[in-house]
Amino acid sequence: MGLTSHETPFADEPVRTPIRQSASLLGAEAVEHALRLHQNENPYGCSLLVQESLSIHDGFANRPGPISQSLLQAVSRYIGRPASDLYLTNTPFELLERVLRVCAEPGDGVIAYTPHTSQLTQAAQNAGLSVLAAPRIDGKVVATQALRLRSATVNTVFLGTPNDPTGDVASPLEVLSLLRSGATVIADEKYAEFTEKGLGILVGEFPSFISLRSFAPWAGLWGIPVSYAVAASGTAAKLDRVWPQADLTAASRIAAGASLDDSALLLNRVKHMRLERARLFRRLRKLNFLQPLPSHGPFMLCEVTRGNPRHIVELLAGESVLIHWCEEEGLPNHLRISVGTPQHTDTLMAAMCRIAVRL
């Protein structure tokens, strides 16, 4: 099965301000048919095996039973950790909130490296936790920034690697410093497939390390999200006792299993996206109003050096190209552009050139 360049519709994530602006400019139907480079969706879509498996399943009217050991073992083989170290659920947000509730008590604090998405703030609020900001230094995670904020009620550290929206990865040495201090570290690694190596290996050495992963970015499953935690067996068991894995929907189970069966094709698509990410970086550098930053995720953060970021988003929306303004992440002078196919990059750059004279 070869690569295709067609786009597959995806279910929307929670609506953000730039998306509402785009909808008002284009109309809802036009937004659905626009070039979607605003939500880190996989431009190649899911595996055809997922679609075929869902189409022949006739048990959607039944309540899901206990999660099958075959699925747990398949994820175990893929990630290289025992099935007892895994906890599967639906959306990344649902997983994050549950892990926060297990790691900290209401009224405690969680240290989060900035910038981070609004989902972390919302998940912490739902769990009754306050968020303490640990700024990155020159875009990098530095352990001392979090350690100085620790206290008796603040011992949980959250970091994204690759981070959304900056695209940087956390140094294993800095993460080790956090773990050796006795802190609980939650690493959001849902974009790990787009890097050289993740941090999941630390689970075997440190029971206080939890890696959050997802099928959504690499397998094209934002519309049927399947997320999982890689954690010490005791933590995984505690999550399962409070929120049984039986809650994972039948569609999610089928999609995850089919994606793992077709993982060679899907990871080859990820390889193509990584190559296109480098090409996108080179093309964006040629513009005189954006400065792209190197990224390890399926997206590129760009600093606006000329013009107004919101105006650029609106002008591109008028060209039926959607990108993300990072105001909510505390980067009001930055834009995030998702990596697409080579055809998507060409379309984006043509639109960028057209709007450049209007800035």
253, 294: one domain: no
Domain boundary among 236, 261, 286: 261
Share of the chain above pLDDT 70, in %: 91
Band (pLDDT 50/70/90 cuts) for residue 339 is very high
162, 294: one domain: no
Q: Which positions ≥6 away from 174 have C-beta within 8 Å? A: 140, 141, 142, 143
For 265-304, what is each residue's pLDDT tens digit? 999 999 999 999 999 999 999 999 999 999 999 999 999 9
**240 occurs within a structural domain:** yes
pLDDT of residue 30: 58
156, 238: one domain: yes
Angle, vertex CA 211, rays to CA 110 and CA 144, nearest 5: 45
196, 232: one domain: yes
For 6-54, what is each residue's pLDDT tens digit? 333 333 333 344 444 455 555 555 566 899 999 999 999 999 999 999 9
**210 occurs within a structural domain:** yes
Residue 257 above 70 pLDDT?
yes
**8 occurs within a structural domain:** no
CA 258, chain centre distance (Å): 21
Could you tell me the CATH number of the domain that includes residue 64?
3.40.640.10
pTM (2 d.p.): 0.89
318, 348: one domain: yes
Domain boundary among 261, 282, 315: 261
Could you tell me the CATH number of the domain that includes residue 345?
3.90.1150.10
**3 occurs within a structural domain:** no
59, 193: one domain: yes
305, 292: one domain: yes
**Looking at the 3D structure of the chain, how many domains does it have?**
2
121, 203: one domain: yes
Mean pLDDT of the chain: 91
**165 occurs within a structural domain:** yes
27, 75: one domain: no
141, 202: one domain: yes
**Computed over its alpha carbons, how large is the radius of gyration of the chain?**
20
* Amino acid, single-letter form, for residue 184: T
Q: Is 115 exposed, middle or buried (0-12, 13-18, 19+ CB in 10 A)?
A: buried
Show the domain range for 304.
Answer: 17-46+264-356
Per-residue exposure over 246-270, b if at least 16 CB sit within 10 Å of its own CB, e if not:
eebebbbbbbbbbbbebbebbeebb
Which stretches of the chain are assigned E, i.e. beta strand? Answer: 35-36, 86-89, 109-114, 130-135, 154-160, 184-188, 209-214, 227-230, 290-292, 299-304, 321-322, 324-325, 334-338
For residues 338 and 40, the answer to whether their CB atoms sit within 8 Å is yes
**211 occurs within a structural domain:** yes
**196 occurs within a structural domain:** yes
212, 300: one domain: no
pLDDT of residue 25: 52
Helices (H), 42-89: 48-56, 69-79
Longest dimension (CA), the chain: 59
Domain boundary among 210, 235, 261: 261
Residue 5 above 70 pLDDT?
no
Cα separation, 148 vs 150, whole angstroms: 6
182, 221: one domain: yes
**291 occurs within a structural domain:** yes
For 76-90, what is each residue's pLDDT tens digit? 999 999 999 999 999
Per-residue exposure over 141-160, b if at least 16 CB sit within 10 Å of its own CB, e if not:
bbbebbbebbeeebbbbbbb
